[in-house]
Amino acid sequence: MHWSNRRCIVLFFSSVICLLPGSTITAQQRPVAPPDISKWDLICFCITSVNTPHFAVRADTNGQILYYAQNGATKAQLEQAMGARVLMSQLDLLQDWRLLKRNGDAYTTNIPVLGPEKVGELRRQMKNLASQIVPEIRPEVQKIAAELQQRRLPDHLYSVLFSYVLDGQTWDQLRSSKAIPEMRITANHPFWDGTFWALYPNRTAEPGTDSTGPDGITLLMTWTDPVLRQLHALQNAPKLTSMLQQASRGDCRNLSIEDAEHKQWTLSGPDGACIFPVIHENASDAIYKAGEQIAKRIARAVLENDQQKLIGGGATVQQAHLIAAHELVWEVLDVIVREGMVQEPSVLRNGAASTTSLGPLLIVTVQNP
């Protein structure tokens, strides 16, 4: 699944996690945020039966309403600040989607909003925290690298560390410890449930993770814009489910599949081995075991560093954990790359001339029965 903004963590009863990396901006370089939240980075960690709240923010002048209502404002005050008319239908829509709350005549933005000052400070703190974490997880990273080398899949180290461990197992650990919000569609939350927040500036680089697959089997794909269309063609391949089921059994002999654009993907090597790692999520799988230790360390760091006051905006403790973790995993990846522990595949920046060169971006996971 893919959203056009690609800055979301969305669950349509199957997980899609999309995160953006980048560098911390210093106070001297801090940009001025536009007075319109629709132009900010909008992130949703949510389960939805209808849509994510992105469309409501981006409709009409709703992004400006949310910007000027951060400290509470009447309809007349909003119109004065914006220099434009505010319709009751706009206010009603934002309230229906729980982006705005009303108390008497005053309307207040109902989501965390992190402008340049907050974002800069949060990323500075997470960068410092990442520098403390990485030396501790280095042995586990080396174990994953050694296991991939043994499986003759060393080119998959980046995608495994990013899409499976940092952008996957980390969230599993935080969920299992109830450190981040639970999500469920109810009568009170019929459209979506979860956490939606806005921040500015966004991160500058754009790798993310898409996932798909039948129950218990997941195909993870690490993407950037240059390779996204080709990966989506694979994701939408008519026989993808049967391919994943065969691969999950460790049987990739003569395995190939035609994608939605009628291109053929050869998914086995000359010896019949899979061209991607198949990770069984139990203690007997070395990648799962080492990744779990990395994820536990990151989750512990999130729990030990309270960011609720800094994040503000009415964020709960669990929501603050979520937002901080969202920033921390990228800072950890930045340090790992900077220290030469892993190298980003060049195909993520240059694009792919063939399906073969996309192999290092693919991972298959198999859950415990």
| Per-residue pLDDT tens over the stretch 102-116 | 999 999 999 999 999
Q: How much is the pTM?
A: 0.88
Same domain, yes or no: 69 and 22? yes
Final residue of a structural domain among 113, 141, 156 = 113
Alpha carbons 286 and 283: distance in angstroms, whole number: 7
Q: For residues 320 and 367, give the distance between their C-alpha atoms in angstroms, rounded to a whole number.
A: 29
Are 69 and 147 within one domain? no
110, 37 in Cβ contact below 8 A? Answer: no
Res 48: pLDDT = 84
In this prediction, residues 51-68 reach a mean pLDDT of 96
198 has pLDDT over 70: yes
pLDDT of residue 29: 62
Contacts of residue 256, defined as CB under 8 A and 6 or more positions apart, other chains included, come to: 264, 265, 266, 267, 268
Q: Which range is least confidently modeled, 64-73, 82-91, 309-318?
A: 309-318
Across all residues in the chain, what is the average pLDDT? 90
360 shares its domain with 278: yes
Domain boundary among 69, 93, 113: 113
In this model, does residue 7 exceed pLDDT 50?
A: no
Q: Do 284 and 138 share a structural domain?
A: yes
What is the C-alpha to C-alpha distance for residues 52 and 46, in angstroms, rounded to an integer? 8
Give the three-class secondary structure for 278.
Answer: strand
Q: Quick check: is 80 in a domain?
A: yes
Give the torsion through C-alpha atoms of 310, 312, 315, 319, to 10 deg: -20
Structural domain contains residue 4: no
Task: Determine the Cα–Cα distance for residues 169 and 282; give it in Å rounded to an integer.
Answer: 12
The amino acid sitting at 188 is N
pLDDT of residue 126: 97
* Residue 60 belongs to domain spanning: 9-113
Same domain for 121 and 174?
yes
Residue 153 within any structural domain of the chain: yes
In this model, does residue 30 exceed pLDDT 90?
no
Whether residue 203 lies inside any domain: the answer is: no
Q: Give residue 78's identity as a one-letter amino acid code.
A: L
Position 17 scores a pLDDT of 38
Query: How many domains does the chain fold into?
Result: 2
- Whether pLDDT at 77 is above 80: yes
Q: Which residues contact 347 (CB under 8 A, 6 or more apart)?
A: 226, 227, 357, 358, 360, 361
Question: Minimum mean pLDDT among 27-31, 56-60, 80-84, 209-213: which range?
Answer: 27-31
Query: What is the helix (H) or strand (E) element at residue 15, kind and residue range?
Result: strand 15-17
Tokens of 176: 């299992």
**Cβ neighbours of residue 262 closer than 8 Å, sequence gap 6 or more:** none
- Is residue 56 domain-resident? yes
> For the purposes of burial, counting CB atoms within 10 Å of the CB of 289, is it exposed (0-12), middle (13-18) or buried (19 or more)?
middle
- 337: three-class secondary structure by DSSP: helix
Main-chain phi, psi angles of 283, to 5 degrees: -65, -15
- Looking at the structure, tell me whether residues 229 and 124 fall in a common domain: yes
- Higher-pLDDT residue of 21, 351: 351
pLDDT in tens, 238-262: 999 999 999 999 889 999 999 999 9
173 and 258 inside one domain:
yes
Residues 212 and 105 in one domain: no
Question: Would residue 192 count as lying in a domain?
Answer: no
Q: How long is the chain?
A: 369
Domain end position, chosen among 113, 137, 159: 113
The closest alpha carbon to 268, from 144, 159, 364, belongs to: 364
Is 37 inside any structural domain? yes
- Across-strand partners of 100? 109
Is 202 within a domain?
no
Residue 120 corresponds to which tokens in the numbers above?
A: 């800069």
Query: Among candidates 304, 289, 326, 341, which has minimal Cα distance to 134?
Result: 341
CATH number of the domain residue 63 falls in: 1.10.10.10
Lowest-confidence pick of 92-96, 119-123, 204-208, 323-327: 204-208
Domain match, 146 and 95 both = no
123 and 15, same domain (yes or no): no
